[in-house]
Amino acid sequence: MIVAGTVGCTSLASFIVLAKSAALSYRLHITFMRLDSMAIVVLSALTPCLATAGSHDVVRSITESIALACTAVCCVTDAQRGYVFDRVTYPGLLAVLIAAAALGNGILALAGALTCGAALGSLFAATRGGGMGLGDVKLAAVIGAGFGPWLGLAALGLSFVCGGAYGAALLFAGRAQRQARLPLVPFLMIALAAVDIARGFL
Task: Give tens-digit pLDDT for 70-93.
Answer: 999 999 999 899 999 999 999 999
Give the separation between CA 132 and CA 52, rounded to whole angstroms.
31
Q: What is the mean pLDDT of the chain?
A: 85
> Is pTM beyond 0.75 here?
yes
Alpha-carbon distance of 47 to 162, in angstroms, equals 19
pLDDT band at 32 (very low <50, low <70, confident <90, very high): confident
User: Cβ distance 109 to 78 under 8 Å?
Assistant: no
pLDDT in tens, 103-120: 899 999 999 999 999 999
Looking at the predicted structure, is the pLDDT value of residue 54 above 50? Answer: no
Selection from 28, 12, 9, 121 nearest residue 78 by Cα: 28
Q: What is the distance between the alpha carbons of residues 156 and 158, in angstroms, rounded to a whole number? A: 6
Which of 29-33, 113-117, 149-153 shows the lowest mean pLDDT across its residues?
Answer: 29-33
pLDDT score recorded for residue 156 = 95
pLDDT, average across residues 154-180: 80
Residue 200: per-residue pLDDT: 64
Give all strands (DSSP E) within 40-90, no chain letters.
none
Q: 33-47 as b/e, with b when 16 or more CB fall inside 10 Å?
A: eeeebeebbebbbbb
What is the share, in percent, of the chain residues with pLDDT greater than 70?
A: 82
In terms of phi and psi (left: phi > 0; alpha: psi -120 to 50; beta: otherwise), the region of 132 is: beta
